Structure 1
Amino acid sequence: MLLAPLSAEAQGKLRIATYNTELSRDGPGLLLRDIVSGQDEQVEAVAQVIATIQPDVILLQNIDYDHDLMALNALRERIAVHGHRMLRTYMRPPNTGIATGFDMNGDGHVELPKDAQSYGEFEGQGGMAILSRFEVQETTVQDFSCVLWQDVPGALLPEIEHGPFPSKEALAVQRLSSTGHWIVPINTESGPIHLLAFHAGPPVFDGPEDRNGRRNHDEIVFWRHVMDGTMGEGTEPFVVLGNSNLDPLDGDGRKEAIHSLITDPRLQDPRPRRQLLAQRIEGQLGDPNLHTVAWPLDGPGHKRVSYVLPDSSLSVLASGVYWPREDSLAGEIAAKASRHRLVWVDVAWD
């Protein structure tokens, strides 16, 4: 089985990765229970995948938040058991499950999880986290997770015939971020690098007002506002990374959003690929070797939704999507871990 080259900052590389782990559970504390048991097959598979790729820094999505980061630290220890140690952690509460007190989806009812800031059965479900070999400069993190959607330049706010959807009052409290938008400085031995981290909501599960599609669009385009200087402060060098929930060619959603990001001249798209050629899926336009998620073919299908986009000042050395042969042991572990696949990029760093 072919593996990605091991990370080695001493050799002038910095390996940066993103991974939608799908480790979220149905209630608070359940993820921690599963991790510390050492017996949960999905948890162990996620830890094995990360240990195989050995990132220097990785953004995780769909991992539940708790106030003492006990689940995240427990996962870090399981990764270490499988051979890769990352000493630093960073996590903030996501917008999932936060009650608003308003009817946010226009169904005439006010109840969780559909009327939270973002869909969630409880506060903290399905958050984002960072694991790093290097210090996270927490005091200078820029957290945009509380930015109101209506305050974003050019926001595509949903409307219906009689006015804002679902109501003017609901939009007045609606945050842009489904999970979060962070700029996180990582202090490596060779200098700082900034992670522009996010996990956008899906552009589906709504009505003709296209509330979710519009929000997904603006969550992705938000990073262009940051690069323009209209949101946040300048941070170089940087890497935009996370799960956009949007493929540039296939599936639902406003594809111009992700297309505008991956073609922005201030960024570079390494187009990470799996190492073994994949068969083209009938009816799809995109290159299957770029796909990062294996949703059911009779449903959403395989898509490219996770991205690692270094800024144009950085030199990209290598990249990949960790997608081993599905009939191999490594492939079985990757599939057991998550429907999503880990995406990594090596940049020159010395």
Structure 2
Amino acid sequence: MTAHRMQRLAVVGLATATLTSGAALLPATAAPTTPTTAPAAASQPGRPDMDVRFSTFNASLNRGAEGQLLADLSTPDNVQAQVIAEIIQRNDPDVLLVNEFDYVEGGQAAELFRDNYLAVGQNGAAPVDYPYYYVAPSNTGVPSGHDLNNDGVVGGGDDAFGFGLFPGQYGMVVYSKYPIDTDGVRTFQNFRWQDMPGNLMPTGFYSPEEQEILRLSSKSHWDVPIRVGKHKTVHFLVSHPTPPTFDGPEDRNGRRNHDEIRFWADYVGSPQDSSYIYDDNDGSGGLRPGARFVIAGDQNADPLDGDSYDGAINQLLEHPRVNATNPPASQGAVEASELQGGINLEHVGDPQFDTADFAEPPGNIRVDYVLPSKSLRIQDSGVFWPVSSDPLSALTGTYPFPSSDHRLVWVDVHLPHQG
């Protein structure tokens, strides 16, 4: 969700991968500011302890018109992009998912953000180098040809396969300091909702023709294998389910959100759980038993508050293969909840775990997650939400936000030395 509570989207198309070298780093031009809420990254690539920082950040770098993000990133002086880049630099993740980053074919926007912003020190923060990235099409904004919202008119963002005003709006990108196994990437953009056994699709709302073509993912689901060291691979499982709002009593978005989250629960489950799954290249089944993974993204679901369908995120938080211990937290979220009051004071969940600063309803809730497999030991974790007395709080701010209504979330994991 966003502060304006604008709906997320989805698009269709063939998945493409991009593996590219990073640009040379440029020196910082301002005196460093000492952060008090952004610990240094756990390690650098190649260190023998193999501690790796995985992160997710809904950066709200989407734009209202096709081509606008490309134009904004083509120069190094877009203020929002500078602030987003500084947040990333202050937290220095090794592997990063950015949600709400418009898809541009060929990875042009991803490269411009990397080269013009991440590789340039922002406000004294050290540049960060991501030699590898991955982008692929999104279901957002791709016309379905059907009246999916039943308003009597075919067309517009709400009738796309995923809500969006143009194809690729609200897409995503993965950046990595480690090589990406592009031959091993799996995408699930075209997986049909009805092909999930026991799905929650409101069949009374959608016509038989619509049920036949509806896709599960509002953006896409990607399995991006990250090669850490010589013999270690971590599957970065990324997505951005639709928010469980902007619908009627049929709860079509809440149900879809639940099943988009369930997809990963089944994917990392037993071979029986994942036997129905197929990818965009006709591969079948889920993740092999024993494989290391990190599930990341804006899941648009809080375990206790908000309007999720039937505890949707608990499908991951309580999964036997997911390490949900030591949840990322911040004192800035606690302070914001107290200062803003309102519905926040009625929430059941502990505000220290909030990751988004939303208008009411639902108020501030936890929607962004980095969830490793149990084979990965969590060393540390956090939410970048500085308290107001911290100079870095200017990067997150209050509405209208200088960066995003979401906060960057990170988890440091330790990879075993063998295997």
Q: Report the TM-score range of the alignment, normalised by the length of the smaller protein.
A: over 0.9
Normalised TM-score (structure 1): 0.95
Indicate if the aligned counterparts of 1:159 and 1:209 stay in contact, CA closer than 8 A: no
1:213-252 equivalent positions in 2, closer than 5 A: 213-226=254-267, 227-229=269-271, 230=274, 231=277, 232-235=285-288, 236-252=291-307
Partner of 2:218: 178
1:69 pairs with 2:107: yes
Indicate if the aligned counterparts of 2:57 and 2:406 stay in contact, CA closer than 8 A: yes
CA distance in 2, matches of 1:215, 1:276: 31
Partner of 2:52: 14
CA distance in 2, matches of 1:40, 1:58: 21
Q: 1:288 aligns with which of 332, 348, 351?
A: 351
Partner of 2:67: 29
CA distance in 1, matches of 2:362, 2:206: 27
Q: SS at the partner of 1:75? A: helix
Q: 1:41 aligns with which of 71, 79, 93?
A: 79
* TM superposition shift of 1:261: 1.3
Number of matched pairs: 345
Please give the per-residue CA displacement for 1:87-132, whole angstroms capped at 9, x wherever unaligned: 1110100000011111111111101211000110000101011000
CA distance in 1, matches of 2:131, 2:184: 19
Letter of the 2:71 partner, please give it: R
CA distance in 2, matches of 1:246, 1:199: 11
Partner of 1:347: 413
Indicate if the aligned counterparts of 1:63 and 1:125 stay in contact, CA closer than 8 A: yes
* 5+ residue gaps, structure 1: none
Considering fraction of residues, name the structure with more strand: 1
Letter of the 1:333 partner, please give it: L
* Residues 261 and 341 (structure 1), Cα distance of their counterparts in 2 relative to 1, 3 Å cut: same
CA distance in 1, matches of 2:105, 2:38: 36
Indicate if the aligned counterparts of 2:161 and 2:215 stay in contact, CA closer than 8 A: yes
1:301 pairs with 2:363: yes
Partner of 1:84: 128
Q: SS at the partner of 1:186? A: strand
Structure 1 stretch displaced more, 43-52 or 77-86 = 77-86
CA distance in 1, matches of 2:148, 2:221: 21
Indicate if the aligned counterparts of 1:153 and 1:225 stay in contact, CA closer than 8 A: no
Letter of the 1:178 partner, please give it: S
* TM superposition shift of 1:166: 2.2
* TM superposition shift of 1:276: 5.0
Q: SS at the partner of 1:60? A: strand
Q: SS at the partner of 1:205? A: coil
* TM superposition shift of 1:255: 4.2
* TM superposition shift of 1:327: 4.6
Indicate if the aligned counterparts of 2:203 and 2:211 stay in contact, CA closer than 8 A: no
Indicate if the aligned counterparts of 1:246 and 1:255 stay in contact, CA closer than 8 A: no
* Residues 113 and 8 (structure 1), Cα distance of their counterparts in 2 relative to 1, 3 Å cut: same
Q: Give the aligned CA root-mean-square deviation in angstroms.
A: 1.5
Q: 2:157 aligns with which of 90, 98, 113?
A: 113
Q: 1:273 aligns with which of 329, 346, 362?
A: 329
Percent identity reads 38
* 5+ residue gaps, structure 2: 1-35, 122-126, 278-284, 338-343
Letter of the 2:304 partner, please give it: L
Q: 1:60 aligns with which of 88, 91, 98?
A: 98
Normalised TM-score (structure 2): 0.80
Indicate if the aligned counterparts of 2:139 and 2:167 stay in contact, CA closer than 8 A: yes
* TM superposition shift of 1:331: 1.1
CA distance in 2, matches of 1:152, 1:315: 31
Letter of the 1:175 partner, please give it: R
Q: SS at the partner of 2:346? A: coil
